Amino acid sequence: MKQSLHDAAVVGIGRTNYSRKSGRTPTSLAAEACRAALVDAGLTPADVDGFTCFDTGSSSASASAVAHAIGVDDLGWCLNVYGGGNIVTTTVMGAVTAVTSGQAEVVVAYRVLASNTRYGKNLGVIEVDGEHQFAGPHGYLVPPQWFAMFAQRHQHEYGSTSEDLGAIAIQERLHASRNPHAVGKDPITLDDYMNSRWIAEPFRLFDCCYEVDGAVAIVITTSDRAKDLPHPPVYVLGAADSNRDGGSVVQFSDMTTMFSAGTAPKLWKRTGLQASDIDVACMYDCFTFTVMATFEDFGFCEKGEVGDYFRAGRATFGGDVVVNPHGGLLSEGYIHGMNHHYEAVLQLRNEAGNRQVPNAQTALVTSGAGPFGGALIYGTAATL
Amino acid sequence: MSTTTEHTDAPASLPPQPAPDVDTQGFWEATANGRLAMCRCINPQCRLWMMPPLDACRKCAAPTNFEEVSGQGSVYTFVVQRQAAVSGYLDNLPYVVGIIELDEQPGLRLPGRIVDIIPEDVHCDMRVQAALEPLPGGDYVVPVFRVLH
Ligand SMILES: [Zn+2]
């Protein structure tokens, strides 16, 4: 019998508080989020036989260690994925396919970040190998610089502006102001944005995500089992990925686009959907420009029109699609895109409270920036 | 993917140093000898330039070697770094880093600082010329770029 994505569903979501400095270990944070997701799912650690997470190599909270920490004695399926935001879709889809292929029945997928991991600066480096050996010696080594390069080229070719990037930052902050869980809740004006300090020009402070300590977990099980659990199941309608130019932030051919130029056509083809079918767009937003490029690539608007789109209110409640109703990585907090999955599921369950997108049935969740990344579309039972 | 070697104490006062491997050491040997050279396929029917360097061509699997390039190219894009973000660049601010597309082949790019220019004068597609300068730390020579006149 052919496996179907619809044979699995997301049945639980959990998270910790997000803070600048928790004073806690990655294992402690991850365990709390995983336990919360299982409680939400109406399951216990005894039900769990699969675990997965992703990491860039700086955390000690491996999937097996965290599973052990919450009392799981034996895992039939355990996958530690190496990567950052680019790999979230792959990690979640690994959990989905573990379930649909019968390798596991209940899988927990999580991401944790703690104060030992901050990506904006790297002041202790003494040696760099691989491709970065050509860039690091020039003081070019950290993500804000990489994606500011993309933004600069887009401004050159399409005339996009700081004000356009600011419109994204302002909108997401406004959304976060309705979200008690967000760390950046105070609305900002265009003046605030323009006057914020340079990080890597053309990026200012408010172009950059809000790095925090915290963890997010989701629970995936079979659709059969999901029927008896407390919340309406959320299904994956399709997923796609793109990895180009060796994952290089120097050699990536067209920096006015991102991975999404490759991911979007695959995803639309696999699902039979298009941008106008999406109710909630959780766009990976390590930086404002990531939203700009990926939003264009997914066909929500033409090249160079994102600023006008946001200023016209088309990316918020009452517009065409609500982009990052939780405030995204820019304002809710940087849990490397796993918090986008939490928000998408919350919205499709109609449990998002004062930021609920009315009658939300479909949610696009993108992950990654630059040369590599993926995306999936979640849907309610009504969309199957 | 590459890795970085760090120590966790005070910020390092030197810029990150290259850690060459057998595939990249030809680049650094060339700069140390006053030449800018890039990795190129030796197959006469192919002759692909590639970055990062490989010991076998990614198109035809033939051997590669390092061949001198003109050092001329265009600024594909750039950033102006105004706050300390990387070791060795703590007080020498602002500085400009460009991604330079070399004339030898479309899409053949090399990162490097663009020097002797005020940041406001740098723009995409600006023509530049490479020059070689010692990297503080002693062992390596790196390409930097200046406006091509
Ligand atoms: Zn070749």
pLDDT of A162 over the 60 cut: yes
pLDDT of B3 over the 70 cut: no
Which chain A positions have a beta carbon within 8 Å of B107's beta carbon?
251, 253
pLDDT of residue B60: 98
Which chain B positions have a beta carbon within 8 Å of A130's beta carbon?
1-3, 52
Burial of A8 (0-12, 13-18, 19+ CB in 10 A): buried
Q: List domains and CATH numbers for chain B.
A: 18-68 (no CATH), 70-149 (2.40.50)
Q: Say if the Cβ atoms of B111 and A122 lie within 8 Å.
A: no
Strand order in the sheet with A322-323: A235-243, A372-379, A362-369, A280-282, A322-323
| pLDDT tens, residue by residue, A71-106 | 999 999 999 999 999 999 999 999 999 999 999 999
From residue A312, alpha-carbon distances to A318, A320, A335, B143 in Å are 11, 10, 29, 46
pLDDT of residue A380: 98
Which of A133, A148, A157 shows the shortest C-beta gap to B79? A148
pLDDT of B137 over the 70 cut: yes
Which of these ranges, A244-248, A320-324, A378-382, B85-89, has the smallest mean pLDDT?
Answer: B85-89
pTM of the model: 0.96
Mean pLDDT, chain A, rounded, equals: 96
pLDDT of residue B1: 39
Contact criterion met (CB below 8 Å) for B135 and B115? no
| pLDDT tens, residue by residue, B47-104 | 999 999 999 999 999 999 999 999 999 999 999 999 888 888 877 789 999 999 999 9
From residue A134, alpha-carbon distances to A31, A59, B45, B143 in Å are 39, 27, 28, 9
| pLDDT tens, residue by residue, A293-319 | 999 999 999 999 999 999 999 999 999
pLDDT of A339 over the 60 cut: yes
Give CA–CA dist B136/A250, Å, rounded: 23
Nearest CA in chain B to A246: B1
Q: State the nearest Cα–Cα gap between A52 and chain B, in angstroms.
A: 21
Parallel/antiparallel/unpaired status of strands A372-379 and A362-369 = antiparallel
For B97, phi and psi rounded to 5 degrees? -115, 130
Q: Position of tokens 């937003």?
A: A285
Give the number of A-B residue pairs with CB atoms closer than 8 Å. 179
Closest CA to B69 of B112, B32, B111, B40: B40
Q: For residue B10, give the DSSP letter.
A: S
pLDDT of residue B9: 47
Q: State the nearest Cα–Cα gap between B142 and chain A, in angstroms.
A: 8
| pLDDT tens, residue by residue, A183-232 | 999 999 999 999 999 999 999 999 999 999 999 999 999 999 999 999 99
Which chain B positions have a beta carbon within 8 Å of A246's beta carbon?
52
Which of these ranges, A111-115, A163-167, A225-229, B109-113, has the smallest mean pLDDT?
Answer: A111-115
Q: State the nearest Cα–Cα gap between B45 and chain A, in angstroms.
A: 23
Contact criterion met (CB below 8 Å) for A254 and A242? no
| pLDDT tens, residue by residue, A340-372 | 999 999 999 999 999 999 999 999 999 999 999
Parallel/antiparallel/unpaired status of strands A362-369 and A280-282 = parallel
Which chain A positions have a beta carbon within 8 Å of B2's beta carbon?
128-133
**B135 and chain A in contact, CB less than 8 A:** yes
**B125 and chain A in contact, CB less than 8 A:** yes
Q: Say if the Cβ atoms of B89 and A139 lie within 8 Å.
A: yes
More confident residue, A117 or A347: A347
Q: Specify the CATH architecture of the domain A5-116+211-226.
A: 3-Layer(aba) Sandwich (3.40)
Q: How confident is the model at residue B11 (pLDDT cuts 50, 70, 90)?
A: low
